[in-house]
A and B are shown apart, each in its own frame.
Chain A
Amino acid sequence: MGAEPVIRLRELKKTYVVSEREPGLRAALAGLVHRRKSEVRAVDGISFDLVPGEIVGFLGPNGAGKTTTLKMLSGLLHPTSGELSVLSYVPWKRDPAFLRQITLVMGQRNQLIWDIPPADSFELNRAIYRIPPADYRRTLDELVALLEIEPLLGKPVRNLSLGERMKCEIAAALLHSPAVVFLDEPTIGLDVTMQRRIRTFIAEYSRRHGATVLLTSHYMADVEALCKRVIVIHHGLLLFDGELAALVQRFTADKTIVVQLKDCAADLRAYGEVLSCEDGRTTLRVPKAETARVTGRILAEFPVIDLTVEDPPIEEVIERVFAQGAA
């Protein structure tokens, strides 16, 4: 039926112990001798499967546990408890055969060496991953073409803009044609055009190579463009795992009605929460159940030029999911 899962998590947990100190000179001197500790549950028992070729979005506010989970999946962190397997390997054992099939890209952190051109960092990766020359040439040419980084290859990395650097980072990370790709906030800090280009690249790359992609992001646009399936995490717990559309469905209690009238003179407050009105274009928020009734009444009682019914913006939905999770 379904394919064998390539990533498997069961009740995965990760707890940290941190030391803290109060401000002030007394505490500073006391800190020389003894530090107070407390426990933080970064990941508190999550479970999911990924099948080959999936592109899954991993959403959550800062500190939700996304990066921690990603680090456990790539073998950087030992879980505190639970089951975890990627490509049938136990990640934290860091078997070289496993490491050769995965890759990790972290937004705003570079593996490219700062003072030299990306081409040389690529050579380094070629040696480290023992990529056969023919495969290397082919993959490199494809990545260079898809990412349009030909003119950048000879310039030292420190001379590249943030977006150019990110494109080269991604190329460096994919030279060894990994089966599993972990992307941790890859578009953070980039301008809108660059974000779009990288999204297009990820979609195309995954389509061509069947790589499994797990992507964390703040930007809904990333998730909307790339992921059919989203996993929402907050306070180390899974809040939702399913299709984006279903997420919106489940977590919105409201719909947005946009009514175009001649002007803003009419008072529509009786029909719902008026969010804005400009040149007669009124935006109303209405409970889902009321949508049909309110729409009918407005159409009957006002000279409506145009009327549309929309879902609220996904950012709002996600915020509501987080707020619910926090409660």
Chain B
Amino acid sequence: MKGLADLYLQQLKTGVASIVQYRATLVIWLIGNILEPLIYLVVWSTVARSTGGTVGGYGAGDFAAYYIVLMLVNQVTFTWVMYEFDYRIREGTFSADLLHPVHPIHADIAENLSSKAVSLPFIVVAAAGLAAIFHPAFKLSLLAAAAFVPALVLAFLVRFLVDWMVALAAFWTTRVTAINQIHYMAVLFFSGQIAPLTVLPRPLQVVANILPFRWTIGFPVELALGRLTPIQVLTGFAAQAAWLLAAALLLKLAWRVSVKRYSAVGA
């Protein structure tokens, strides 16, 4: 366990140093992660204003609050492992990773966190800026504040494991772009990014509850905004825990199978 902590610390240090070196990459991701929620914020606020009321239970101010919180939650939970994997396999660096005694996912998580340590302050500033511009309607609640952090942590883990599993497709096909595209679409629609889930037609909402994506973004956001009843909060946590377990088990299996294939097929 100490060894793992050590690894994370080292990775964090090198991670921060390399991020500082590549200021440009930092900026690019930031721009994307700020712009996308901002676009949907504007679009849905416009829709709400034109109908003169609410859409799916959200008024213009509610949409603003929703997307500002979503920006934060997304920044904390997002990953880029799909792009990494494709590169790693093509360059053959996976062979080196497989020789390490520790599961490569730990290095990836550490790298992810170290990058966010540097970028999070900027996102917070951006969120504050947007809050000043768009007059979001916040309903603060004690329950929300208490439950938010655990929900966020679980959301991060579930999203990371699911993304990592999807990324394993790179071991099985070179046509990963289609798979990444489908994954991106699924996240967009079913995690609450393209619209808060209550805005979606009923059938899609049902699908969203079955898939893991709602629990990685939509749930923590709705929770923070105080839009969930205590029962819904508990159900949410249960769903997160269930998905965490399922993802962990599936990942273990998928990893073993993928490594076998990688070693068989060769670098």
Footprint of B on A, CB under 8 Å? Answer: 25, 28-29, 31-32
Are A28 and B23 in contact, with the CB atoms below 8 A? no
Q: Which of these binds chain A: B14-22, B93-101, B166-174? A: B14-22
What are the interface flags for B7-31 relative to A under an 8 Å C-beta threshold, 1 for contact and 0 otherwise? 0000001001100110100000000
Residues from chain B with Cβ under 8 Å of A25 in the complex:
13, 16-17
Q: How many angstroms between the C-alpha atoms of A269 and B160 in the bound complex?
A: 73
Are B13 and A28 in contact, with the CB atoms below 8 A? no
Residues from chain B with Cβ under 8 Å of A32 in the complex:
20, 23
Q: Chain B contact residues (Cβ within 8 angstroms of A): what range?
A: under 10
Which chain B residues (1-58) contact chain A, with CB distance < 8 Å? 13, 16-17, 20-21, 23
Nearest-CB residue, chain A, relative to B13: A25
Nearest-CB residue, chain A, relative to B16: A25
List 9 additional A-B contacts (Cβ < 8 Å) besides A31-B21, A32-B20: A25-B13, A25-B16, A25-B17, A28-B17, A28-B20, A28-B21, A29-B20, A31-B20, A32-B23
Q: How many angstroms between the C-alpha atoms of A25 and B17 in the bound complex?
A: 6
Q: How many angstroms between the C-alpha atoms of A32 and B20 in the bound complex?
A: 7
Residues from chain A with Cβ under 8 Å of B20 in the complex:
28-29, 31-32
Nearest-CB residue, chain A, relative to B20: A28
Q: How many angstroms between the C-alpha atoms of A28 and B17 in the bound complex?
A: 6
11 A-B interface contacts by CB (under 8 A) = A25-B13, A25-B16, A25-B17, A28-B17, A28-B20, A28-B21, A29-B20, A31-B20, A31-B21, A32-B20, A32-B23
Residues from chain A with Cβ under 8 Å of B21 in the complex:
28, 31
Q: How many angstroms between the C-alpha atoms of A32 and B17 in the bound complex?
A: 11
Footprint of A on B, CB under 8 Å? Answer: 13, 16-17, 20-21, 23
Residues from chain B with Cβ under 8 Å of A31 in the complex:
20-21
Nearest-CB residue, chain A, relative to B23: A32
B27 to chain A, nearest CB (A): 13
Q: How many angstroms between the C-alpha atoms of A31 and B20 in the bound complex?
A: 9
Q: How many angstroms between the C-alpha atoms of A29 and B23 in the bound complex?
A: 11
Q: How many angstroms between the C-alpha atoms of A130 and B234 in the bound complex?
A: 75
A313 to chain B, nearest CB (A): 40
Q: How many angstroms between the C-alpha atoms of A159 and B16 in the bound complex?
A: 40
Residues from chain B with Cβ under 8 Å of A28 in the complex:
17, 20-21
Q: How many angstroms between the C-alpha atoms of A29 and B18 in the bound complex?
A: 10
Residues from chain A with Cβ under 8 Å of B23 in the complex:
32
Q: How many angstroms between the C-alpha atoms of A180 and B16 in the bound complex?
A: 50
B114 to chain A, nearest CB (A): 12
Q: How many angstroms between the C-alpha atoms of A29 and B19 in the bound complex?
A: 10
Nearest-CB residue, chain B, relative to A27: B17
B76 to chain A, nearest CB (A): 23
Q: How many angstroms between the C-alpha atoms of A179 and B13 in the bound complex?
A: 56
Q: How many angstroms between the C-alpha atoms of A28 and B21 in the bound complex?
A: 7
A66 to chain B, nearest CB (A): 31
Q: How many angstroms between the C-alpha atoms of A114 and B229 in the bound complex?
A: 61
Q: How many angstroms between the C-alpha atoms of A286 and B57 in the bound complex?
A: 99
Q: How many angstroms between the C-alpha atoms of A69 and B13 in the bound complex?
A: 42
User: Residue among B13, B16, B20, B23 with the most chain A CB within 10 A?
Assistant: B20
Nearest-CB residue, chain A, relative to B14: A25
Q: How many angstroms between the C-alpha atoms of A25 and B13 in the bound complex?
A: 8
Nearest-CB residue, chain B, relative to A26: B17
Q: How many angstroms between the C-alpha atoms of A28 and B118 in the bound complex?
A: 13
User: Residue among A28, A29, A31 with the most chain B CB within 10 A?
Assistant: A28
A192 to chain B, nearest CB (A): 30
Nearest-CB residue, chain B, relative to A29: B20
Q: Which 8 pairs across A and B sit closest by C-beta, in order of nearness?
A: A28-B17, A28-B20, A25-B17, A29-B20, A32-B20, A28-B21, A25-B13, A25-B16
